[in-house]
Structure formats: C-alpha cells, structure tokens
Amino acid sequence: MKKTKVINSQISTLIAGMGHMDWLSIGDAGMPVPLGTPKVDLAVDKQLPSFIDVLKNVLEELEVQKIYLAEEIKTENPDQLVAIKSLMPNVEIEYVPHSDLKKDLSKTHGFIRTGEMTPYSNIILESGVTF
C-alpha cells in the first residue's frame, strides 16, 4: 500500500505523470469540466471534501511554481484567497477572468472536483521542479 499522503490512485497517477510547467486543476463542485479533460470526482456531499483539504493533500506531493486563480476570487471569496496564499506564500499568482480559467481547464492534465460550495474556489497549479 502507498505510504505517502496522496493515496487516491487517480490523483497519485496524475501527479506522477506531470513534468515541469504542466498543469493540474482543483475546483469546486460547480466548475464545468471540458470534454476530454480527465476528471477525478471526489465530491461526496456539500463541502465534503473541501477545496482546501484537497489542495493541502495535493501539495504534499506536487512541487508548484505558479498558480492561476480567477480574478473574481478577490472580491467574491476573499477568505478562500487568504487560505490559498497561506498554503503557498512564496508561489507566484496570476489572476485571470473566470471565463478564461474555465477554458484553460482543457490544457490541464486533469481536474479534481471537490465538494466545495463557495464561489471561485478553483485553481490551476503549474508544476515546478525539485532540483
């Protein structure tokens, strides 16, 4: 049995297959995922699991050099923005319109759907290198 923090086999496979500058996305229960983008659906109930819990788990194994967030998170979900920044205080953030973030999901290795029910709780993680 896998010993590290990410024990979900689909998420572990996605992370293991990523190289430098590849993208992985995590989002709320309402985010529309483009056809063809692999989706790992973890949503069980409202807020279960939460966006932040899943993000924390993924960050245990994925080196992240940059993140992409919807511009709207600044005004529509500032508490979530604070939580994200606290997990990755030294990671570059690029803000884009939510409509662009949705389109960019087609460029990701996969989308992890959570049970999160707060607006704009979506992120694209750009992988870094560990050396």
* DSSP for residue 32: P
Strands (E), the chain: 23-27, 39-41, 64-70, 92-96, 111-113, 123-127
CATH of domain 20-127: 3.40.1650.10
What are the binding residues for substrate?
Answer: 28, 98, 120-122
Q: How far apart are CA 21 and CA 99, in angstroms?
A: 22
β-sheet bridge partners, residue 125: 24, 67
pLDDT tens for residues 91-111? Answer: 999 999 999 999 999 999 999
- Give the strand order in the sheet containing 39-41: 39-41, 111-113, 23-27, 123-127, 64-70, 92-96
* Residue bearing tokens 């279960």: 48
| Residue 20 known to be catalytic | yes
Q: What's the whole-model pTM score?
A: 0.96
pLDDT tens for residues 7-41? Answer: 999 999 999 999 999 999 999 999 999 999 999 99
From the candidates 9, 16, 17, 20, which is the catalytic residue?
20
pLDDT tens for residues 42-101? Answer: 999 999 999 999 999 999 999 999 999 999 999 999 999 999 999 999 999 999 999 999
The count of other CB atoms within 10 Å of the CB of residue 37 is: 14
